[in-house]
Amino acid sequence: MLADDIADRIAAACPNELDDLVRSAWCHHVNGRLTENEVEALDEVARARREALQERRTETRPKPRTAPSSTPRASARRPQRSPDRQASIERRRRLVASGPLPPPLAARFTWGEIAVMRIVGDECRAHGYCTLHIDAIAARAGVHRTTVQNALREAQGRGEVPGVPIISVQERRRAGQRSLTNIIRIISREWRDWLHKGPSRSAMGVGSKCTAIKKSSTTDTSKKERSSDAPSRREAISRGKEVALR
């Protein structure tokens, strides 16, 4: 099967080949050759392979001899794992189904990357820019941080197939200190118009009680009409009986 073949290639792949294999798996999913569950499983296999290679590289790398320093060293980043994988998948599907991108722009991204762009678009619509950390975007979108990096790279027009950039990324590096989070801004007029014209809660009628009030008033009116028409119907029935007896 195609999924087993890709899984075997991932198990023997180098770190530089993992991203290409995952992207090719998503391309097969778009073409209908792989199901979504198979692609998610392959993504998990690639993630496990990447972590195993990272641990092996850390174990085999000799520790540098440095003079003791009084300043505390930054702790190594822990591998990101979702506490509830099924909930992450459902959240990602809801974000994709909301239509955060115009169809011509959405065709450039995978489903996981579209969920990432939904988070970025919400931040830009609320604040004018996005300063969330990559891990924070990944947690909200229900994807891995590598998917966030791939989505931002594609949105800047630096993907496998170079395209028109739709965002700008401003780096905030600090000498001798940990860099601040990047500032992401939307430069695509088409995407900005799409976000501006998006539906709001008031437009969708969320929380409105007009429908319930209208139904109750209609029901009450019909009951009053029936009660007022009841005597006239009884008189008509009694007159019909008298005519029949005559």
pLDDT for the residue numbered 239: 65
pLDDT for the residue numbered 88: 78
Catalogue the E-assigned strands of the chain.
167-172, 180-186
CATH top-level class for 86-199? mainly alpha
* CA of residue 87 relative to chain centroid, distance: 12
Q: Look at 158 and 19; give whichever has higher pLDDT.
A: 158
Give the integer Cα–Cα distance in Å for 52 and 58.
10
Q: How do residues 161-211 score in pLDDT, each as one tens digit? A: 788 999 999 999 999 899 999 999 999 999 999 988 875 434 433 333 443
Report for 64-78, 133-147, 198-212, 213-227: range of highest mean pLDDT:
133-147
**DSSP label at residue 180:** E
pLDDT for the residue numbered 77: 61
pLDDT, averaged across the chain: 76
Q: What is the mean pLDDT of residues 151-165?
A: 88
Q: Is the dihedral of CA 17, 22, 28, 31 positive or negative?
A: negative
Contact 157, 165 (CB under 8 A): yes
Q: How do residues 30-80 score in pLDDT, each as one tens digit? A: 878 778 778 778 778 888 877 887 777 776 666 566 555 555 555 556 666
pLDDT for the residue numbered 186: 94
**For the chain, domain boundaries:** 1-59, 86-199
Give the integer Cα–Cα distance in Å for 164 and 156.
7
pLDDT for the residue numbered 206: 32
The pLDDT > 90 percentage for the chain reads 27
Query: Does residue 218 register a pLDDT over 60?
Result: no
Query: Does residue 213 register a pLDDT over 50?
Result: no
Whole-structure pTM value: 0.50
Q: How do residues 99-109 score in pLDDT, each as one tens digit? A: 889 999 999 99
To which H or E segment does residue 4 belong?
helix 2-11
pLDDT for the residue numbered 152: 94
Backbone angles phi, psi at 172, to 5 degrees: -125, 75
Beta strands at 180-186 and 167-172: parallel, antiparallel or unpaired: antiparallel
Q: Look at 116 and 27; give whichever has higher pLDDT.
A: 116
Give the integer Cα–Cα distance in Å for 93 and 131.
24
Q: Look at 173 and 239; give whichever has higher pLDDT.
A: 173
Q: Look at 39 and 119; give whichever has higher pLDDT.
A: 119
